[in-house]
Structure 1
Amino acid sequence: MKKYQTIEDTIGATPLVRLQRIPGDAGEPRGNVILAKLEGNNPAGSVKDRAASSMIRQAEARGEIKPGDTLIEATSGNTGIALAMTAAVRGYKMILIMPDNLSVERRASMTAYGAELILTPAKEGGMEYARDLADKMQADGKGKVLDQFANADNPLAHIETTGPELWQQTDGQITHFVSAMGTTGTIMGVGQYLRSKNSAIQVVGAQPAEGSQIPGIRKWPEAYQPKIYQPKQVDQFELISQDEAETMARRLAAEEGIFGGISSAGALVAATRVAAQVSNATIVFIVCDRGDRYLSTGVFN
C-alpha cells in the first residue's frame, strides 16, 4: 500500500520569493536582491512549526515523553499554535499559557487544535509571567515544559531544515540573513548553518525600539534571556519601531502581494536598511507567519 504523508510531514520546504517594488533604489540599482522566505506556508501557519515538531520528536526519541502525556508551554502565539497542531498529530495533551493582550485569532487557533489555553494578565508581566507559571505547573507535576527558550531542539530544527533550504534555494549566493528575534531559535539555527557553509555571511537581527510592542519581536530582560541565545552570533542589530513594522506590513501586502505578520514586516524593515548600505548582495528575510493572524488588531484596516 502507498505510504501517504501526514500533515506533520508537510512542514518545511517553503517558497523563497523575490521582492519587486519595496526594495526601490536599494535593490536592483545597487545590484541587490531581497528575498522573502514564506514560512506562513507551513501547515499551522508559521516558522514555529519547524521548532514545535523538532522539540516533540526529539523528546520522544530520548524517551522523555510518550503519547498521552501532557505538555506545557508559555507562548506569545505561533509556537503555541504549532505545538497544538503537533500534539494533535502525535497524541499529546497540550496546555498553553499566553498573555491576554494577544490576538483572538491566535487563541482560537490553539483551541481549535484541542489545546487547553490559560490566559495570564499582561499587566502582571506578560510573557515573563507566563513562563514562570509554566515552570510552576511543571514543578507541581501537571505536565512537562518543552521550554522553547532553552531547548536546543528549537535551533536544531533550523540547522537541519531552514538553513539548508536557504543555501540550496539561493545556490549558495546568500550574503545576509535577516530575522526577527523572539525566542531566537530561528536566527541562532539558521545563522549557525549558513556560517558553516560560508563564514562571511552576515546575520542581522530585528529587535523592538524602545517603547514598541511588536508581536514576535522581543528584547528580553536579562533574567529571561533565552538560554539558546548567543549574542555574538548576530553581526548586526536593527531596532524597529512599532509604526515602522505596521506600516511595512501593509506595504508588503499591498505592493508585493505577501500577507505577512508584523514581526515579518519588522524583519523586512531591517533588510531594506541593510540593502541601502551594501551592493551586489543577496539578502534573505523570514516571513515568519501570515497576516490573517492579526486581523482583529486593526493593523491592516
Structure 2
Amino acid sequence: MNYQTIEDTIGKTPLVRLVRLVDESIRQRNNVVLAKLEGNNPAGSVKDRPALSMIRHAEARGTIKPGDTLIEATSGNTGIALAMAAALRGYRMVLIMPEDLSVERRQSMGAYGAEIILTPVKGGMECARDLAEQMQRDGKGVILDQFANPDNPRAHYESTGPELWDDTNGEITHFVSSMGTTGTIMGTSQYLKERNPAIQIVGAQPEEGSRIPGIRKWPEAYLPKIFDRSRIDRVESVSQAVAEERTRELARREGIFAGVSSGGACDVALRIAREVENATIVFIVCDRGDRYLSTGVFPA
C-alpha cells in the first residue's frame, strides 16, 4: 500500500456555498458566494501551503538541510504551519511574534516543538521582523522570509488557484482574500488572471485603528516584497467590529467556525454580491476559530 504522509494532506480543501448569510437581494441577482475552507489543512490554516513550499524549495536549492535552524517572524498561522513542516522534515524552528497574539497560537507552535520569542506589542510585526533579521545576521539561523520569498505565492499559484478554477468549472468571477503577507492573493491572482483576465481580485485590509489577526495595512517601508499592487483590482477596508461580527455569524448561521480575518473577507464578499449580477464569488476562510477562543471574539 502507498500510504499518505501528513504532507500529502495539504491542500484540496473544501469549497462550500453560503446558505443563510446570502439574503434575498443577493439571490435575486443570481449570485453565488463560496467559502474556501483552509482550516481543513493539517496545521489548520492556509499557511500550510506556503510553509511546506518554502522549505521544500529551499532544500532543493541547497539553502537549508535537515538539522539547520530556521527563523521566522510571524503573526501566528505561518508560525504554526512552519513549526509543523519543520517538525516533519527535521529542523529546529525559532518563531518571533508580538506578545499580544492569542495563547492558542503560541501553544500550537510549542506543541510542534518550536522555540518562541515574544516582542513588545507596541513594536508590532515590524519589530518581530527586525529581530529576525538581526538574528540571521548574527548567524543564529536562516530566515525563510514569507514576506519576500517567491515560494510563498508560488504555493498558491500551483495549488490554490488551480483548485478554485477546477472546483468552479472556470466560472469564478471574483476572488476575495484578506491581505497579510499577501502570498495568498498574489499567487492565486496570477493563476486566475492567466485563465481569465476578467476575474476580479479583491483584497481586504483593516480600517485605520483596527487590529484584525492575519490582516495588515503595512507601512510603505515594510510592504511585503512579494506584493504587486497591479495584481489586485480592488481593495476594501474592514473594521474590527464588522470582521468580528461576521466571524460569529459564520459560526452561528453557516456552521463555519473560522478566524477573524475570514469574517473580514466574508463581509467584503457579501458587499460585492449586493453590487453585481450572475457572479460566482469566492473568499478564503484562512483558519479555524478555535485559535481565537481566548480573545473574547466568541461568547462563552
The TM-score bracket by the shorter chain reads over 0.9
- 1:115 CA drift (Å): 0.3
Looking at structure 1, the residues matched to 84 and 233 of structure 2 have their Cα atoms a distance apart, in angstroms, of 34
- Cα-to-partner distance string for 1:10-42 (whole Å, 9 max, x where unaligned): 000000000001121342211000000000000
- 1:85 CA drift (Å): 0.1
- 1:3 CA drift (Å): 2.5
Looking at structure 1, the residues matched to 91 and 272 of structure 2 have their Cα atoms a distance apart, in angstroms, of 43
- Checking the alignment, whether the CA contact within 8 Å between 1:31 and 1:280 is kept in structure 2 is yes
Q: How does 1:214-253 map to 2 (within 5 A)?
A: 214-253=212-251
SS of match in other structure, 1:205: strand
Looking at structure 2, the residues matched to 25 and 70 of structure 1 have their Cα atoms a distance apart, in angstroms, of 54
Looking at structure 2, the residues matched to 95 and 4 of structure 1 have their Cα atoms a distance apart, in angstroms, of 31
Looking at structure 1, the residues matched to 24 and 231 of structure 2 have their Cα atoms a distance apart, in angstroms, of 29
SS of match in other structure, 1:199: coil
Q: Which residue of 2 aligns with 1:204?
A: 202
Q: 1:140 aligns with which of 133, 138, 141?
A: 138
Q: Which residue of 2 aligns with 1:58?
A: 57
Q: Which residue of 2 aligns with 1:159?
A: 157
- Cα-to-partner distance string for 1:72-92 (whole Å, 9 max, x where unaligned): 000000000000000000000
- Checking the alignment, whether the CA contact within 8 Å between 1:26 and 1:272 is kept in structure 2 is no
- How many residues matched? 299
- 1:232 CA drift (Å): 1.4
Q: Which residue of 1 aligns with 2:254?
A: 256
- The yes-or-no answer on 1:80 pairing with 2:79 is yes
Looking at structure 2, the residues matched to 295 and 284 of structure 1 have their Cα atoms a distance apart, in angstroms, of 26
- The yes-or-no answer on 1:104 pairing with 2:112 is no
Q: 2:268 aligns with which of 270, 282, 286?
A: 270
- Cα-to-partner distance string for 1:161-197 (whole Å, 9 max, x where unaligned): 0000000000000000000000000000001000000
- 1:293 CA drift (Å): 0.4
Q: How does 1:2-21 map to 2 (within 5 A)?
A: 2-21=1-20
SS of match in other structure, 2:201: strand
Identity score, percent: 72
- The yes-or-no answer on 1:30 pairing with 2:29 is yes
Looking at structure 2, the residues matched to 274 and 227 of structure 1 have their Cα atoms a distance apart, in angstroms, of 28
CA RMSD of aligned residues (A): 0.6
- The residue identity in structure 2 corresponding to 1:7 is I
Looking at structure 1, the residues matched to 234 and 255 of structure 2 have their Cα atoms a distance apart, in angstroms, of 28
- 1:5 CA drift (Å): 1.2
Q: 2:127 aligns with which of 126, 129, 136?
A: 129
Looking at structure 2, the residues matched to 8 and 72 of structure 1 have their Cα atoms a distance apart, in angstroms, of 21
SS of match in other structure, 1:8: helix
So what's the TM-score if we normalise by structure 2? 0.99
Looking at structure 2, the residues matched to 8 and 254 of structure 1 have their Cα atoms a distance apart, in angstroms, of 32
Runs of 4+ in 1 over 3 A off after TM superposition: none
